[in-house]
Amino acid sequence: MKRHSPKPPKAYKDLEFLNSPDARIVRMISEFLEPQSRFRKARIKDTIVMFGSARVRPRNETLADLRKVEATLRKSPRPTKHLLTSLRDSEIQVEMSRYYEDAVELSRLLTAWAKKFATPRRFVVCTGGGPGIMEAANKGAALAKGESIGLNISLPFEQYANDYVTKELNFDFHYFFMRKLWFVYLAKSLVVFPGGFGTLDELMEVLTLLQTKKVKKPVAVVMYGEEYWKKVIDFDELVAHGMITRDDLRLFRFMETPEEAFKYLKGFLTATYLTKDETASQQGIESVEET
């Protein structure tokens, strides 16, 4: 009996090929199509994206660290430069922790409101899925007993997915540009809390897309924490040097409290994206809740 040679693996089952440089375009397309498929199955129509630093921590954690440093200082007759630096760093961490708590509350308010529009899912909170402000926003959604999205990214220093991301809406990207595409693709509003290089990168990309009208849909951009952002970016100097126009400053608004940001975003999203039936349904639910 004649023996046949074993069949070679089909290209789409050949892991060696799929992980090779020659198949890079296949991996890129997969990072578009797989999230698209999951979002469609989950019936998610649009998102509220919340950015911010992965290094901002909850207030109780930062206060505990500060108390430890203060206790060490009280026992030290001659505080070292290192210890004084630790004190200053701990005080700053406590100060910045307010943004963590505010992100929790804003996300909770938005999610509780958005849950009124159940089918399809409207205005779902979406983050980068990691720690810090991302964790805070996912936590706020969980406190409102709602779902939230985490668009995580694989990094040399491992970024873990926080515990508050909805399991079915937890993603892990390899390509930064594809991750950023999904941040913008479904977004109807963007809330940018204080952050570093990554937050600045995402903020500036969104503002550029809106400025150049590559993104044609209306997107409300909230920059949370005016004092921080005006220290980090001197927008008036950009205008003064002719790098942007005064009208470009209308692409975003500064906000200071969860209640202020919620009121603005709720008004914008209602007026811009809700149908008359959805608005009437929302008003009906609110009337029942008030009685």
Length of the chain measured in residues: 291
Q: What is the CATH number of domain 27-58+98-286?
A: 3.40.50.450
- pTM for the predicted model, two decimal places: 0.90
What is the b/e burial string over 247-280, where b = at least 16 CB atoms within 10 angstroms of the residue's CB? eeeebbbebeebeebbeebbebbeeebbeeeeee
pLDDT digits (tens, 9 = 90+) for 139-181: 999 999 999 999 999 888 756 889 999 999 999 999 999 999 9
> What is the rounded CA–CA span in Å between residue 37 and residue 30?
10
> What is the rounded CA–CA span in Å between residue 110 and residue 154?
28
List the single range of 56-60, 130-134, 263-267, 277-281 with lowest mean pLDDT: 277-281
Query: H or E stretch including 170?
Result: strand 170-173
Q: Are 104 and 59 in contact (CB under 8 A)?
A: no
DSSP sequence for 60-86: HHHHHHHHHHHHHHHH-SS--HHHHHH
Q: Are 174 and 28 in contact (CB under 8 A)?
A: no
Q: One-letter amino acid identity for 269?
A: L
pLDDT digits (tens, 9 = 90+) for 209-257: 999 999 999 999 999 999 999 999 999 999 999 999 999 999 999 999 9
Q: Is the dihedral of CA 76, 78, 80, 81 positive or negative?
A: positive
